[in-house]
Amino acid sequence: MATLKQKIDAERRMRELLEDSGLPPPDTVEYGHTCIRLFWSKTRHCVIIDIDEPPEGWEPIGEQLVDHDEAA
């Protein structure tokens, strides 16, 4: 499982990358067990940064990104 320090470092580096590229910062950041998730509300975008492998016994929910509008 990713440590809090790893998650904070990943968020800081991503914010620096976005700023250096002239892109807006995320509106919301969530820390998961093995990742961080950055959300932009207006554009409805999300970036997931995997930091660590999930613990043994965890199964992924899925490997495909789904457009929920098309899936409905």
Looking at the domain assignment, is residue 40 inside a domain?
A: yes
pLDDT band per the 50, 70, 90 thresholds, residue 33 = confident
Looking at the domain assignment, is residue 61 inside a domain?
A: no
pLDDT of residue 66: 47
Looking at the domain assignment, is residue 15 inside a domain?
A: yes
Distance CA 40, CA 28 (A): 7
Looking at the domain assignment, is residue 72 inside a domain?
A: no
Structural domain boundaries, residue 12: 4-55
Looking at the domain assignment, is residue 30 inside a domain?
A: yes
User: How many folded domains does the chain comprise?
Assistant: 1
Least confident piece of the model among 26-30, 60-64, 68-72? 68-72
Backbone φ, ψ for residue 17 (5° rounding): -60, -45
Q: Which two tokens stand for residue 61?
A: 């929910």
Distance CA 38, CA 62 (A): 19
Looking at the domain assignment, is residue 68 inside a domain?
A: no
Looking at the domain assignment, is residue 60 inside a domain?
A: no
Q: When comparing pLDDT for 50 and 62, which is higher?
A: 50
For the whole prediction, is pTM greater than 0.75?
no
Per DSSP, what are the bridge partners of residue 28? 39
Residue in the structure block whose two tokens are 């999300």: 46
